[in-house]
Structure 1
Amino acid sequence: MKTNSEILNIARRTLQTEVEGISGLIPRLNNDFGVIIKHIIDTNGRVVITGVGKSALIAQKIVATFNSTGTPSIFMHAADAIHGDLGIIQKDDLVICISKSGNTSEIKVLVPFLKQAGTLLIGMVGDLSSYLAQQADFVLDTTVDKEACPHNLAPTTSTTAQLAMGDVLAVCLLECREFTSQDFARYHPGGSLGKRLYLKVKDLYINNNKPEVNPDSPIKEVIVEITKNRLGAVTVVNDNKIEGIITDGDIRRMMEKYNTFDRLTAKDIMGTSPRQIASTELALNALELMRGNNITQLIVADKGVYKGIIHLHDLLREGII
């Protein structure tokens, strides 16, 4: 068994090899890359991405990234393609074929059928002298000097380079399409990521009660209102105008400051100029405002009209945090 020090050295060497492999892609980009991006943007069909073995797995990840960033894509396994799945490819589709060697038997069988159908073929390949590179209309050069595998056999650096090139394509495409965070939210409605992009304050505060007292309300009424609504705060409102807020912390500080509370009213202990947020704001913005001001509640108000309170727990419950 190797020592911890030896294991760490292997890990660092592996990462360094893969870093160098990715860095080596930069000078391999040429003017054809921009042409490829324009072809993908201009196509009326989808981007069909294919490969064999580990390259097929990389192709599936690139398809997922493309679809989530506004480029309609579909995966086609090269081996299945030559056994009936060629029907996946439609008239206006273009194909990206991923292969390290560019000489696998499946690729050599598949490519002629693509050429015969007049399908635009982009080869993502690690050997510019290979069959795929010679037959493709355009080439994405993902050549690497060596694999991270000590025997230079297991696909490691080469698949990392393919994955990185897929990300390069996706990022260029989304920026060229001016793909916004709102667009991204439409493709990610589920999970915490989606919620961070589309969930709004109005979706949360309506589930809470609307704690409210007036400036002359006695302290007992204030405490009852805070306790009853379980939001840790109550808004002080006078003639539909927000005057202030009273939190659990204000109650504790009052008890430390005063010996008797019988004559105190809401206006004596409320905090003035409380932080507010519009109901149409993203819940994520509410979180940032809470964090920036070290508070756990925000008053929700639209054009000065009190709507309710949003609590940090609302954001926790929805997975925003």
Structure 2
Amino acid sequence: MTSEQILAVARRSIELEAASVSGLLSYLDESFALAVNAVSQSKGRLVVSGIGKSAIVAQKIVATLNSTGTPSLYMHAADAIHGDLGMIQEADVVLVISKSGESPEIKVLVPLIKRFGNTIIGMVGNDQSFLAKQADFVMNTTVEKEACPNNLAPTSSTTAQMVMGDALAIALMELSGFDGRDFAKFHPGGNLGKRLYMRVRDLYVNNEKPAILPGATLKEVIISISGSRLGITAVVDEHNGLQGVITDGDLRRMLEKDLPITGIQASEIMTPQPKCIGPEELAVDALETLKRHDITQLVVTDAENHYLGVLHLHDLIKEGLI
């Protein structure tokens, strides 16, 4: 195949799957809403089951639900009828996923769950199937055609199932009022977790705390800036109240003016009212402030404008927030 032919095949596949996803809009009905409410009001968990490729989709949906505040677990349909049914508890809702709704394992599994008395949601691509008729609520994921050229390999159908699972998870998030703080509780690891929970106080305390009085000499200013390796020093009063800052850039600009430097004091070259941030602010908010003002340091102060320390851009880079 030529490159153009390969690209044509890829485009056709994407177009077919996109059409399958768009088609789901017409299948969202009262049954979907009732299913969402059933899960939301349940005192148990959502058990998600499937067979074949639908089982793999079920695992992804469970992962999404658990990370967004809906306690869920995965149960393979074949394993369920060989002992795993024991994981279903009385208050659980069961979501069974199947394209055809007629798989032998599904036909065995569904009556057993109904005998337990659990609510069953069928995510199915055939609204006249065994699963659709036996389920208490139906999420219709019918697709017109698989992206597979033989219309056999689950492609468009599994994409539709994934999207419907996401719609379920997002609806449940809205119902429960699940917000960013809740999300952070379930995602403490990696860079994502850091972006959600890491605060300024977690970073600036590891740095030096350069500070001088307003009457400090130019030599004292240079020593303070050089000693901390932060490119900045704070100018504070005798009560540790922030008066301003002096950066290495301020020193260069002063020297470029070719002014007499004998007798210069810190208060004469400092920048008053520097950009500051509180220790409880999120580190990602500090990063946005640095970007917005095109600077590399933020002075950390408390509510009374007492100087606490310095947050440097390198602190955020080191933590992988950039």
Matched length: 320
Higher mean Cα deviation, 235-244 or 191-200? 235-244
Offset from partner CA, 1:23-48 (integer Å, 9 cap, x none): 00001111111111111011111000
Please give the alpha-carbon distance, in whole angstroms, between the structure 2 residues aligned to 1:257 and 1:20: 66
Offset from partner CA, 1:287-315 (integer Å, 9 cap, x none): 11111111111000012111001011111
Residue of structure 2 equivalent to 1:92: 91
Please give the alpha-carbon distance, in whole angstroms, between the structure 1 residues aligned to 2:199 and 2:244: 23
Please give the alpha-carbon distance, in whole angstroms, between the structure 2 residues aligned to 1:67 and 1:139: 22
- For the aligned residues, what is the CA RMSD? 1.1
Please give the alpha-carbon distance, in whole angstroms, between the structure 2 residues aligned to 1:248 and 1:147: 63
Offset from partner CA, 1:188-221 (integer Å, 9 cap, x none): 1111111111111111111111110112211221
Higher mean Cα deviation, 280-289 or 7-16? 7-16
Percent of residue pairs identical = 54
> What displacement does 1:138 show?
0.7
Residue of structure 2 equivalent to 1:232: 231
Please give the alpha-carbon distance, in whole angstroms, between the structure 2 residues aligned to 1:60 and 1:195: 26
The answer to whether 1:277 aligns with 2:277 is: yes
Structure 1 SS opposite 2:146: coil
> What displacement does 1:129 show?
1.3
Residue of structure 1 equivalent to 2:126: 127
Unaligned regions of 5+ residues in structure 1, if any?
A: none
Please give the alpha-carbon distance, in whole angstroms, between the structure 2 residues aligned to 1:11 and 1:75: 32
Structure 1 SS opposite 2:120: strand
Aligned 1:1-321 pairs, distance under 5 A: 2-239=1-238, 240-258=240-258, 260-303=260-303, 304-321=305-322
Please give the alpha-carbon distance, in whole angstroms, between the structure 1 residues aligned to 2:257 and 2:83: 82
TM-score, normalisation: structure 1: 0.97
What letter corresponds to residue 116 of structure 1 in structure 2? R
Q: Which runs of 4+ in 1 moved over 4 A?
A: none
Offset from partner CA, 1:85-144 (integer Å, 9 cap, x none): 110101111100001111111111111111111111100000111111111111100000
Please give the alpha-carbon distance, in whole angstroms, between the structure 2 residues aligned to 1:16 and 1:255: 63
TM-score, normalisation: structure 2: 0.97
Higher mean Cα deviation, 233-242 or 279-288? 233-242
Please give the alpha-carbon distance, in whole angstroms, between the structure 2 residues aligned to 1:203 and 1:158: 46
Unaligned regions of 5+ residues in structure 2, if any?
A: none
Structure 1 SS opposite 2:43: coil
Offset from partner CA, 1:7-60 (integer Å, 9 cap, x none): 222222111111100000001111111111111011111000000111111100
> What displacement does 1:259 show?
5.7
